[in-house]
Amino acid sequence: MASPRSDSGSDVRARILKAAHDLFTKQGFQSTTTKEISARARVAEPTVFRHFGSKVELFEAAILEPFNRVVDEWTRSWSEMSTEITLEQLAENLVDSLYSVIWEDRKVFRELLAARSDPNSALYPSAVAISAQFREGLSAVLDVGIDIARTRELVYVDPPATIGAVASMIIGSVLLGDWAYPANRRTPGRTRMVREMARLIVDGIAHRHP
Amino acid sequence: MASPRSDSGSDVRARILKAAHDLFTKQGFQSTTTKEISARARVAEPTVFRHFGSKVELFEAAILEPFNRVVDEWTRSWSEMSTEITLEQLAENLVDSLYSVIWEDRKVFRELLAARSDPNSALYPSAVAISAQFREGLSAVLDVGIDIARTRELVYVDPPATIGAVASMIIGSVLLGDWAYPANRRTPGRTRMVREMARLIVDGIAHRHP
């Protein structure tokens, strides 16, 4: 095992984030302590605070990191490969990666969703901060979407409404699992849902007329 | 003002439901009392219990009644007007009425969403019962959807996934308002969202090939 002292600052930061993400996802915010996180990351507890300030800030960073990575990769993949990549690939890529991020952290996101509409909740400030970051990420997706529409001569009538509908569908398909699927049928898993949503998005956008 | 005694049982029931719905929607479950409801409905408090058994049962009936009405009307409109009605009308009708039901009761649905993932919540049993009824309603929508696809020769590949995606989108577009809309833009209102979602559904379904 490498000595913590030999690590660079960014290694340590990444290790703390990963440990925090693992524990918050499994146990939720309340029952996870910075002591546990530091033990799992093999750093001293003060190191956690030096890098992240507080448990709340660490929580927000750990939950947002995978989401921000998805948005970055997706917007970059578009600008780098704009000519070769198909609309189908773009849509599948976005749906699959966003669905996976929400799915992996679904317990935390259910907590955050509840906290977002309860100002008395201890998690309320984090829910406000994280939801605001979500909307910033979707704003970047929107800008790229407008670019895509222009390049491919799509009639992209109302971009904020399209992004809102698409994001609601992807996030909702995970978090509204108890509400939005027909009774008496097996609830479709990830592969079926990703395929279906990518299909709805591509066909739903590509056939409009001016 | 008509004397309560002159009303038929179903008038009284409807009046209690309406009063309960108004108060629960405005004040939430906890802070609404059956005494207030009976006063607003102009009936004696025991009458409320004779019709609905308990505050919880009245709550569930009051919240489900508009949703069940939407599903009934939508499935009936299809079987009655199957030849004249266009796919666009069917989709707009479904999106508009479901969006409106969730929008009107959005405070209650946010409470129920939070309660559904918290078995310790006082509202947990109601959240389970109401979400199960939602899924029953979507099952009826699914049956009609399969019928529509057959009649119009649509390639309806994976109906439970389609219904799950569409319901997630409509419910999510209201309840995930803080999460799913791009930052720095005005959040689209009902008219824009209903139009956009109906468009995505119709084009998203109508262009598939075997």
ipTM: 0.91
Least confident among A38-52, A93-107, B150-164, B170-184? B150-164
Q: What is the pLDDT of residues B123-143, one digit of tens each?
A: 999 999 999 999 999 999 999
Q: Is residue A1 part of a domain?
A: no
Q: Where are the alpha helices (DSSP H) in B42-189?
A: 45-52, 55-80, 87-104, 106-116, 124-151, 159-175
Could you tell me if residue A135 is inside a domain?
A: yes
Q: Count Cα neighbours of B208 within 13 Å in the Cβ-side half-sphere.
A: 20
Residues from chain A that touch B180, judged by Cβ atoms under 8 A, are: 134, 138, 164, 167-168, 171-172
Q: Check if the beta carbon of residue A98 is closer than 8 Å to that of residue A70.
A: yes
Q: Is residue A12 part of a domain?
A: yes
Of B118, B183, B204, the CB nearest to A132: B183
Among candidates A100, A43, A97, which has minimal Cα distance to A75?
A97
pLDDT at B96 over 60: yes
pLDDT at A8 over 70: yes
How many other β-carbons are positioned within 10 Å of the β-carbon of residue B6?
Answer: 7
Residue A16 lies in a domain: yes
- Distance from B95 to chain A by nearest Cα, in Å? 12
Contact indicator for B128, B113 with CB cutoff of 8 Å: no
Chain B interface includes A4 (CB < 8 A): no
Q: What is the dihedral of CA A187, A193, A197, A200, to 10 degrees?
A: -60
The pLDDT score that the predictor gives to residue A1 is 45
Provide the token pair at A110.
Answer: 């259910």
**In whole numbers, what is the pLDDT of chain A averaged over residues?**
90
Assign B186 to helix, strand or coil.
coil
Rounded average pLDDT over A55-74: 93
pLDDT band for A210, please (50, 70, 90 cuts).
low
Residue A2: inside a domain: no
Angle at A207 between CA A189 and CA B188, to 5 degrees: 75
* B164: nearest CB among A184, A193, A199: A193
Domain stop point among B29, B53, B77: B53
For residue A33, give the CATH number of its domain.
Answer: 1.10.10.60
Q: Are residues B108 and B11 in the same domain?
A: no
The confidence score (pLDDT) of residue A134 equals 94
Q: Do B60 and B40 sit in the same domain of this protein?
A: no
| Nearest beta carbon to residue A176 from set B171, B183, B203 | B171
Is there a single domain that holds both residue A137 and residue A182?
yes
Same domain, residue pair A96 and A168: yes
Residues B61 and B147 grouped into a single domain: yes
Q: What's the confidence (pLDDT) of residue A82?
A: 59
* Amino acid letter, A203: D
Cα distance between residue A155 and residue B36, in whole Å: 52
Residues of A in contact with B125 (CB under 8 A): none
Name the pLDDT band for A151 (thresholds 50, 70, 90). Answer: confident
In single-letter form, the type of residue at position A154 comes to L
Q: Count other Cβ atoms within 10 Å, centred on residue A121.
A: 16
Write out the two tokens for B138. 């979507």
Q: What local confidence, expressed as pLDDT, does residue B53 receive?
A: 95
Confidence check: pLDDT of A2 > 50: no
- Amino acid identity of residue B171, one-letter, is I
The whole-angstrom separation of Cα B78 and Cα B80 is: 6
Coil/strand/helix, residue A68? helix
B48 plus B67 within the same structural domain: no
Query: CA B117 to CA A53: how far, in whole Å?
Result: 30
Tell me the pLDDT band of A6, cut-offs 50, 70 and 90.
low
Kindly state whether residues B9 and B90 are assigned to the same domain: no
Q: Are B113 and A116 in contact (CB under 8 A)?
A: no
Compute the nearest-CA separation of B18 from chain A (Å): 24
Using alpha carbons only, what angle is made at residue B109 by residues B107 and B114, rounded to the nearest 5 degrees? 100
Q: What is the pLDDT of residue B152?
A: 81
Nearest C-alpha neighbor of A19 from the set A5, A33, A7: A33
Return the CATH number at A187: 1.10.357.10
The count of structural domains within chain B is: 2
**pLDDT for res B7:** 64
Taking the Cβ of residue B135 and every Cβ of chain A, the question of whether any pair is shorter than 8 Å is answered with: yes
pLDDT greater than 80 at residue B60: yes
Torsion of CA A71, A73, A75, A81, to 10 degrees: -160
| Integer Cα distance of B159 and B149 in angstroms | 10
Got the DSSP string for A114-141?
HHHT-TTSTTHHHHHHHHHHHHHHHHHH
Give CA separation, A5 vs A2, A40, A45, A46, A54, in Å.
8, 16, 14, 14, 22
Does residue B40 sit in the same domain as residue B135? no
Residues A61 and A104 in one domain: yes
Domain holding A125, by residue range, is 55-206
pLDDT of res. B147? 86
- Whether B201 has its CB under 8 Å from any CB of chain A: the answer is yes
- Cα B127 to Cα A131: distance, rounded to the nearest angstrom: 24
Same domain for B198 and B120: yes
- Mean pLDDT score of chain B, rounded to an integer? 90
Q: Distance between CA atoms of B58 and B62, rounded to whole angstroms?
A: 6
> Is A28 near chain B, with CB under 8 Å?
no
Residue with tokens 């479904």: B94
Q: Residue range B10-38: average pLDDT? A: 94
Where among A53, A70, A86 does a domain terminate?
Answer: A53
Let me know whether A47 and A75 are in one domain: no
Average pLDDT over residues A178-206: 94
Same domain for A145 and A87? yes
Taking an 8 Å cut-off on Cβ atoms, the answer to whether A158 and B188 are in contact is yes
Provide the percentage of residues in chain B whose pLDDT is more than 90.
70
| Cα separation values, A14 from A6, A21, A133, B73, Å | 14, 10, 20, 54
What's the CA gap between A106 and A199, in Å, rounded?
24
Most A CBs within 10 Å: which of B106, B107, B157, B179, as the mutation test of the A interface?
B179
